[in-house]
């Protein structure tokens, strides 16, 4: 590797706050010099970037659980990176780390939040997926809020995605039935035949509610919500008394600019909450940070033994991240969406 002063950093910044669905002009690719790391710092070369639905919320200035990305700032995101210069005794050049370097090729870090990765234990990209934030979201949300019991029925939306695929497999490991909802026959076949769900229903089917009811003859005890919209409408009547609903995401609504059209469904939802004694709880995975050590131990063993499987959808080139992100919000990805950033 040449001198740091000879390097340039390509990065993608938020150019404008989207109105509705993001468009290419909301993001801008720019080139800046790579700074020399100071004392106690490391220079990271990003190898893989994770693209996740929560990033749509970071593009908005609306009040949320986390501060938005400011216009002109690098889009944030989890990354796997390699240490290429180190002035921090905790890290050596060549180390692979989990970092939060965002949508860029290089980053200077003081070591805060970095986690060293051992490629002999698991493929490094799993730290962005099944053994990272998405996997932990599935594990903590399902087991802490959903609390599936043997023989119960667990339904999960976006079942072929990074979070949903893990939810259904963990439900099966814990002895529950797993029913997935996914977009299209190929994804449904993958969920059933590869991941081992008991059933999967195509949310694009015109008779979604009827098909879901047919594969949930005993109702639904746990519904892991990733989507909202028509999927929630189909699930709500099937919820059993004392059902639990971890609310992880509402991707069907992320690009909305106002109130959803159609009748007000709140009264019907609240009536079901009351009469069926439902538990509906939104959550952010960081709320369960004290459980991460247990997650790494349990999920790591499941991955090594093949009980917890995963699929990665890899896009080459940082410049292609914006289009891939828009496709993610449209449900076009198949598995955990990653961008291969490194040009080496």
For the segment 135-190, what is each residue's pLDDT rounded down to a tens digit? 999 999 999 999 999 999 999 999 999 999 999 999 999 999 999 999 999 999 99
- Mean pLDDT for 205-214 is 95
Q: Which two tokens stand for residue 93?
A: 């050049």
- CATH number, domain of 198, equals 3.40.50.720
- Mean pLDDT for 258-284 is 87
pTM for this model (two decimals): 0.91
- Mean pLDDT for 31-55 is 95
CA-to-CA distance for 279 and 203, rounded, in angstroms?
24
The reply to whether 22 and 151 lie within a common domain is: no
- Mean pLDDT for 242-251 is 90
The reply to whether 157 and 120 lie within a common domain is: no
Higher confidence at residue 278 or residue 342? 278
The reply to whether 201 and 239 lie within a common domain is: yes
In angstroms, what CA-CA distances link 27 with 15, 57, 65, 320, 325?
5, 14, 22, 11, 11
CB distance 45 to 73 below 8 Å: no
The reply to whether 38 and 156 lie within a common domain is: no
The reply to whether 164 and 102 lie within a common domain is: no
Worst-scoring range by mean pLDDT, 61-70, 201-210, 260-269, 328-337? 260-269
Residue 266's pLDDT is 86
Backbone dihedral angles phi then psi of residue 140, each to the nearest 5 degrees = -70, -45
74 assigned to some structural domain: yes
pLDDT bin (cut points 50, 70, 90) of residue 4 is low
Worst-scoring range by mean pLDDT, 29-33, 61-65, 108-112, 244-248? 61-65
Q: Is residue 10 packed enough to be buried (19+ CB in 10 Å), middle (13-18) or exposed (0-12)? A: middle
The reply to whether 168 and 221 lie within a common domain is: yes
Residue 25's pLDDT is 87
Residue 220's pLDDT is 98
DSSP 74: B
pLDDT bin (cut points 50, 70, 90) of residue 233 is very high
Residue 249's pLDDT is 85
Structural domain of residue 103, as residue ranges?
A: 4-129+310-340
294 assigned to some structural domain: no
The reply to whether 154 and 245 lie within a common domain is: yes
Residue 252's pLDDT is 65
CA-to-CA distance for 218 and 229, rounded, in angstroms?
23
Q: What's the domain count of the chain?
A: 2
The reply to whether 269 and 336 lie within a common domain is: no
């Amino acid at each position: 590797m040449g001198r740091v002063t000879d390097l340039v950093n390509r990065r993608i910044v938020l150019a404008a706050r989207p109105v509705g669905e993001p468009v290419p002009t909301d993001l801008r690719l720019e080139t800046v010099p790579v700074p020399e790391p100071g004392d106690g710092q490391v220079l990271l070369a990003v190898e893989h970037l994770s693209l996740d639905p929560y990033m749509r919320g970071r593009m908005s200035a609306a009040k949320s659980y986390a501060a938005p990305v400011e216009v002109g700032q690098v889009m944030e995101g989890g990354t796997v990176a390699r240490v290429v210069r180190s002035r921090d005794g905790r890290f050596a050049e060549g180390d692979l780390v989990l970092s939060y370097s965002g949508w860029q090729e290089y980053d200077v870090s003081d070591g805060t939040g970095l986690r060293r990765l051992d490629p002999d234990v698991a493929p490094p990209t799993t730290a962005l997926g099944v053994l990272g934030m998405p996997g932990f979201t599935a594990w903590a949300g399902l087991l802490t809020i959903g609390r599936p019991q043997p023989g119960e029925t667990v339904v999960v939306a976006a079942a072929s995605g990074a979070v949903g695929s893990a939810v259904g497999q963990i439900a099966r490991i814990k002895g529950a039935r797993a029913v997935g909802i996914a977009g299209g026959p190929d994804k449904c076949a993958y969920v059933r035949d590869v991941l081992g769900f008991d059933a999967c229903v195509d949310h694009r089917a015109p008779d979604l509610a009827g098909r879901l009811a047919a594969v949930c003859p005993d109702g639904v005890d746990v519904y892991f919500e990733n989507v909202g919209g028509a999927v929630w409408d189909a699930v709500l009547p099937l919820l059993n008394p004392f059902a639990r609903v971890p609310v992880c995401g509402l991707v069907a609504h992320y690009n909305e600019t106002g109130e959803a059209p159609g009748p007000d469904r709140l009264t019907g939802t609240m009536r079901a909450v009351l009469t069926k004694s439902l538990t509906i709880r939104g959550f952010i995975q960081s709320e369960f940070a004290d459980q991460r050590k247990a997650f790494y131990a349990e999920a790591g063993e499941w991955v090594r033994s093949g009980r917890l499987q995963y699929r990665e959808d890899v896009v080459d080139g940082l410049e292609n991240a914006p289009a891939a992100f828009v496709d993610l919000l449209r449900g076009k990805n198949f598995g955990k969406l990653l961008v291969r950033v490194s040009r080496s």
